[in-house]
Amino acid sequence: MSGIFLLSVLLVCLALGIPVAIALGTAGSLTMLFFSDQTLLSIAQRFFHTMMVYPLLAVPFFILAGTFMTSGGAAQRMVAFANSLVGHYRGGLAIASVLACAFFSAVSGSSPATVIAVGSIAIGGMVASGYTRPFATGVICNAGTLGILIPPSIVLVIYGAVTETSVGALFMAGILPGVLLTLLMMLVLRIIAGRRRMPRQEKAGWRRILSTGKEAFWAMMLILIILGGIYGGVFTPTEAAAVAAVYAFVIAVFVYRDVPLAKAPSVVIDSAKVTAMLMFIIANAYIFAFVLTSEQIPQMASQAIIDLGMPPWAFLLVVNLLLLVAGQFVDPTSVVLILAPLLFPIATDLGIDPIHFGIVMVVNLEIGLVTPPVGLNLFVATGVGKMTLEGVIRAAFPWLLLLLSFLVVVTYVPAVSLTLPKWMGVLP
């Protein structure tokens, strides 16, 4: 009875348009008050307990690092470097934009930030070079989804915290799928460009490649610091986030000098606003997850699925359909916070690796970022690409087939996610 009440209150709140954070908190709190011996004091204690979850300390630091990188000229330098590498191919500027999105994803951990930072530079450049605006905007809108797959993905950090899964292992697992999706997008662009005879640029000499590489070096070093530091055993993912924030501040203010020192406090305030909003959602989600666990709802659902004899492949199919629908209406962070506590125990009971399951969830949510009605990348791309929402939806739609095909591969070929962690000794 309590489980039905909990989920009913949540669905009613969401249907009424109540913000996700308040819907989660309301459903969890009312269930605790009506169906358990918990008091308002215990609810408050559970709310603030979230702030003591160690892996979540990485969230504000990664957000701060990404804000400094977005505010500075890191994206512009990455686009220039990527263009010098592949700009001489047909469609080279579009291919370079995808590569730049992959580079920037590895320092920001955010899809909207990637679309804004790279799109504000690359879309105008592509249009000036002869590409249509819808094509350029569609490319950036979809390539920007790499921001939540390639580490340091904030969504992976939250999944790790909610499910008590190693964030370091999740980061390692996201590398190969991120690289494969980047290469797949670049290959498709190369084929399309050849058929449509899209423009190409003069081949850059080694001098230009070295020059643009030198300019982008300090920004690219953040990737090495985060991943090399974690897997070299120098620091934990949470400590890596703090180091990344300090490093991003130093290169933005003192090396590139794109962000004046006097403007640094405003950058910190902007990141603090995003952090406060996100942590409020997480805190309410922890109340919701606590009620789920205490009422043994995941365990009952898991037993019901096992009793039905549903094999793991069928469960993963159902999960994909559920996440694809949820991603159309709710942002990735909220989907993870709502559904991970419910689906994760079932997946582990069926023998599905927790790391693999996390990557499957993230790839589903990538697709949600570019599907209406609430795909976040679509709304961001309307401003960056100077198009209507309907125009951006049409421009992004052809890429859905590619993303869905990639989802099938990631879902049913666990080696895509698990090979690198096993090779590095992170997993047995």
Ranges 104-118, 221-235, 406-420, most confident: 406-420
Kindly state the tokens that stand for 255.
């090396």
Q: pLDDT at position 319, please?
A: 92
CA distance 39 to 54: 26
List alpha helices for 88-166, DSSP H. 92-108, 111-128, 133-143, 154-163
Contact 361, 323 (CB under 8 A): yes
Q: pLDDT at position 14, please?
A: 80
pLDDT for 353 beyond 90 = yes
CA distance 323 to 340: 10
Task: Kindly report, residue by residue over 166-188, the tens digit of the pLDDT.
Answer: 998 999 999 999 999 999 999 99
What does pTM read for this prediction?
Answer: 0.87
Q: pLDDT at position 50, please?
A: 67
pLDDT for 391 beyond 70 = yes
Residue 396: which residues within 8 A CB-CB, separation 6 or more?
Answer: 137, 138, 141, 142, 370, 375, 377, 378, 381
Task: Kindly report, residue by residue over 74-103, the tens digit of the pLDDT.
Answer: 888 888 899 888 878 888 889 999 999 999
CA distance 172 to 426: 8
pLDDT for 224 beyond 70 = yes
Residue entry with tokens 């969830």: 361
CA distance 378 to 173: 27
- pLDDT band at residue 358, thresholds of 50, 70 and 90? very high
Identity (one letter) of the amino acid at 172? Answer: M
- pLDDT band at residue 48, thresholds of 50, 70 and 90? confident
CA distance 96 to 388: 25
Q: pLDDT at position 54, please?
A: 75
Nearest to 77 by CA among 278, 212, 224, 264: 212
Q: pLDDT at position 333, please?
A: 87
